Structure 1
Amino acid sequence: MSSIAPYPCDRCGLAVIKAYIFGSGGVRIVLDAIPVVGGDFATWPLGYDPDNLRLLAARRPARVNAPYDMPATLKPQFDGYSAANERAWYVEHVHGVSAAEIVERRSS
């Protein structure tokens, strides 16, 4: 049985989630449970039974599509690249370091 609920890391106690890299044949990755702006991975659940779901992950896209409910007059001005950079994504877990700290260290 599998679940996509966050659980504490055995080594550092931070909340993490287990995901499988999409298209990799079952390679598992551990992500921080809190997504942050500047993260690397998009995730989505796979399955129908809430007690037996798998979480798939893939590198975040460089650009995202405009929201479905955006008025048609605003869609031509929508910048999918900057919207992707402003959205929260998951990062790979590093023991004892929060997701926000990981992203902050990269930018400095």
Structure 2
Amino acid sequence: MGMLFYPLLWLGMAFLAGPLFGVAGAWWRRNEDWRRRAVAVAGLAGVFGMESVHYAWTLHYAPQAWACLALAVLLPLVMPRTHKERGVALLCTAAFSFVAYVVVYRGLLSGA
């Protein structure tokens, strides 16, 4: 209690994630390039995939892991416009999930 590291870390991550997800939302909503739309959806779904990996491997919370995994799979299936986007978004979601897990939970939060 009273440790300032974690609030500052999450504040810094919010300053980084806010503009990133703002750009992703603009790409998904207004862009005609299917690759950008697929990556935008995968970015959102990758957050849920990262949480699913964390709940399953680190915390061993099975219900939360399954709920996050369901969202990580359903978002790329529901949000894209074409079948091609769905496939690319699913593949990118899997990659983003594990990369984000390694960066956030194994990198940033493991040192504190």
Using structure 1 for the length normalisation, give the TM-score: 0.28
- TM-score for the superposition, normalised by structure 2: 0.27
The structure that has the greater radius of gyration is 1
Structure with greater proportional strand content: 1
